[in-house]
Amino acid sequence: MSINLHDIVLTYPDGDNRLRALDDVDLHVRRGELVAVTGPSGSGKSSLLAVAGLLTTPDSGTVTIDGTDVTRLDRGARTDMRREKLGFVFQQSNLLPSLTATEQLQMITHLGGGSVRDSRARARELLCSLGLEGQLDRRPNQLSGGQRQRVAIARSLVNDPAVLLVDEPTSALDEERSREIVALLADISRERQVATVMVTHDLNQLDLVDSAYEMHSGALRPRQIATAAN
């Protein structure tokens, strides 16, 4: 078991009341699995990732990562846990415009105190393993949308995460590119034994994931995966 959310409740202030963004949510994702979370806008998907990613502390419930309860760590321990165990990929790839693909990854190792030469070799190896051998020295404006998203995925893997949290990775991509990215995330999860949670609006790629859930007004329910399209 790699990430386990149990009975999570998260509320936000909403006028005189509180809005229940997550309503008794349970989610278990094992290493090696890619799990999709779908659901309408405003249903709580990003809130779920924020809790899983230790960016937001829930009102109640527990988050367990690799068997350790990480729900109420202090700020420093949370930051360490995020760096050591978690990888994030967002809707926009959030790459720094002035850095090459290699440098985007090197910066992460550098922040962790690693040597420049090792970080360069590791960055190149990771980028090549994601099919970016021709783009190592390009800046974001010289990359396609799909390539940018691959660089962002490579960057999320620099610290060998146990858990990968991915918010709408394909929303800026066409159908074919979207499918490649979801297939890539499935391969990464299996080969690197990462537990991946992917929020998506894209119902066409659900045959590629291990399981799928649907969020409705803060409640998470299993969703039937349609394989009839194959």
Ligand X SMILES: Nc1ncnc2c1ncn2[C@@H]1O[C@H](COP(=O)(O)OP(=O)(O)OP(=O)(O)O)[C@@H](O)[C@H]1O
- State the distance between the two ends of the chain, measured CA to CA, in whole angstroms: 30
**Nearer to Mg ion (CB atom), residue 135 or residue 205:** 205
Among 2, 38, 47, 135, binds ligand X (CB under 6 A): 47
Provide, rounded to whole angstroms, the least separation between the CB of residue 45 and ligand X: 3
Among 7, 26, 42, 137, binds ligand X (CB under 6 A): 42
Token pair, residue 17, equals 């009341």
Give the CB-side neighbour count of residue 179, counting CA atoms within 13 A: 5
Q: Which stretch binds ligand X (CB under 6 A): 38-46, 118-126, 127-135, 146-154?
A: 38-46
Q: What does the alpha-carbon distance between residue 11 and residue 21 come to, in Å, rounded to a whole number?
A: 5
Site membership for ligand X, residue 46 (CB under 6 A): yes
Site membership for Mg ion, residue 43 (CB under 5 A): no
**Nearer to ligand X (CB atom), residue 10 or residue 164:** 10
What are the residues facing 47 on neighbouring strands?
Answer: none
Residues 6+ apart with CB under 8 A from 170: 149, 177, 178, 181, 182, 200, 202, 205
Q: Which residues bind Mg ion (CB under 5 A)?
A: 45-46
Contacts to ligand X by CB under 6 A: 12, 19, 21, 39, 41-47
